[in-house]
Structure formats: C-alpha cells, structure tokens
Amino acid sequence: MKEQRVVQLETVAGEPSFWDDSRQAQRVMREIDRLRGEISLWRGIERRLADLAELLELAVGEGDETILSEIISETDEIATDLERRHLELMLSGELDDRSAILAIHAGAGGTESQDWAEMLMRMYLRWAERRGFKSELLDLSPGEEAGIKSVTIQIDGPYAYGYLKAERGVHRLVRLSPFDAAHRRHTSFALAEVMPEVPDDVEVTINPDDLHLEVFRSSGAGGQNVQKNATAVRIRHIPTGTVVTCQNERSQLQNRETAMRILRARLLEMEVEKREQEQARIKGQHVSAEWGNQIRSYVLHPYNLVKDHRTEYETSNTTAVLDGEIDAFIERYLKSRVGEAAA
C-alpha cells in the first residue's frame, strides 16, 4: 500500500502545475520522503531475513558453529529493529512523525529545582544522542547559583515528537541535597513540555496584533549581563497568554525568529491538546493538569528507584536512566496508550 501511495504521489509531483501551490507541494514531497524511508526500512529487514535463511541452510549443512553464532547475533539485532518498528506503528497521531521542541522548567525551590532541571536536560540530550537524533539549544535561562531555570531544545529525528510526548508532565526528584550544608533530603520538581516542530508547509495563523513584543539584555548566571545591547526577545501571545523568551542568539532578529518558531509550536500543541482533551471528555476519561500529579519519580535516597506513576513501570538503575536510558519508560507508556485507544 505504501509503495502504491508513493507511485501515486510521484505521479502528482511530475505534473507541470505541481509547484503552483508551494505549500501543498511541500506537503506532498514531505510525505514522499517519509514513505520512502519507511519502505526502505521494511525492505531492508526483508532482505536481512532472506540472507539469514540462506545462512541458516549453509550452517545446518556444514554444521558450522561459528556461522550459527553469527545467525543468533543477527537474529537478536533484527528482533530489536522489529520491536522499534512496532513501536513506530503505535505512533499514528497526525504529528507523531515530526521532530520535537522540548522545554524544561524548574519548579519552586530555587537552586534545588534548577539543578534538577539541568539534570533532566542532560538526560534528554543523552537520550537523543543514543538515538542518533540531532539536538539544538534554542534558549537557556541559567540559575542564579547552579542549574537552569528553563531550557528549550529542538530535537530532530524521525518520530521524535511521538516518542517524547510520553515525557510531558511533572518529574519529581528525591535525594540528599548537595546544596544543603546539613545534607538533608530534598524533593524537587521540574516540568517537561513537548511540542511538535511546525514545518514551513504547515500554516499556523498568528495575527501580529495579538503579539506583545519586549526586548531586553541577555543575562548569564548570577544575573551578569553578557551583552551590552538589548538582543533578547520576549513575545506574549495575548489571546492565550503564552509567553516565549529567547536570548541565545547574538542578534535581536535571530532571537525573534527563534521565539516565533517556538510560539508556533506551542500554539499547534495547544490545539492538538485541546482536541485530545475533548476526545477524552467524550470518552469519560480523566484529564489531569500539567502541574498536577507527577508522572515519574526519581528517588536517589534512601534507596534507588525510578518509577512511572502512569504505567507502574520501575527500575532501580537510576544512573542509567539519568544517563538517557529512558526507552523502556517511553515504550511502556506508548503500549498503555494503545490499550486506552482500543477501549
């Protein structure tokens, strides 16, 4: 079916008037690229399985244990790839295949929460690196003493949004504080927001009259001014109250463009969330607020445990999780959502 769809779209793309509507043309080309990538992946697995069957015949015929060992190793790799493809089939939302914009905000608690927000930032950057995704820091507001107040990161990769939307919500940390002279146990909170990247071919209408723009000087840790000119930008979308700040770039124009990119993503995500909440209301499902109950707890004292409160999945390997090994949590969440959708 997908190969037939590609043939149909390529026929459309070959028509002389194809580029008369540039937005529609970009949508078609984007779909062709996505479908070609999916077809290539499945055809590749098909070829590997065929090669494996031939190799198995050879190994059985010759009784070669070395070849049998290679077959077992290759079988495990194919099984891992199939599991990943199976997960991607669960990501059927209209925006799931897109790149993502991830925002992390420290909760109340000053340095403790700001340090926790930085730990989460590192966790997600390591996760993206493990998956071969590209990360770009769009904006970062450093903490007064340590950590960060907030950060916004673009993560480019297939299905990045589909995977990362499992991480939306409040993350709770329990540990012995490195900032407390008495070394007491502290609980910190941070909020993760996940938005889909908005490609140029997708229209998100923003009325310029609905925007309030402010410019100010970029600042570093401890409130020290790092630039003499007012290059940082804060944009407020009046109808929704959404505020976006960007101060990473050197020019006011660059910061404004980046802030608008983030704003478009936020507004698109708000629209998607609104539809999801309406569907949940119709189904009679409970919809929790973002700053409500935490989705996951990371306990480093008096024992080691990371537990997802939505799926009850947990692990005692806190070091691995904070180093970016969060796929098991994401996979459990996606599978639980499939169960909800079928209900």
| Cα 164 to Cα 156, 174, 253, 290, distances in angstroms | 11, 23, 29, 15
At 281 the pLDDT is: 61
Helix (H, G, I), strand (E, B) or coil at 146: coil
Output the furthest CA–CA distance in the chain (Å, rounded).
77
Q: Flag the least confident range among 88-92, 126-130, 147-151, 280-284.
A: 280-284
Whether CATH 3.30.70.1660 fits 100-342: yes
The superfamily CATH assigns to domain 2-90 is: Release factor (1.20.58.410)
At 286 the pLDDT is: 44
**pLDDT tens figures, 20-68:** 888 788 778 877 887 887 788 788 888 888 888 888 877 777 766 777 7
Q: What is the mean pLDDT of residues 138-145?
A: 90
Tell me: pLDDT of 238 over 90. Answer: yes
Measured CA to CA, the distance from residue 263 to residue 197 in angstroms comes to 10
Q: At what angle do helices 65-90 and 22-62 cross, to 10 degrees?
A: 150
**pLDDT tens figures, 163-180:** 999 999 999 999 998 888
Domain boundaries, the chain: 2-90, 100-342
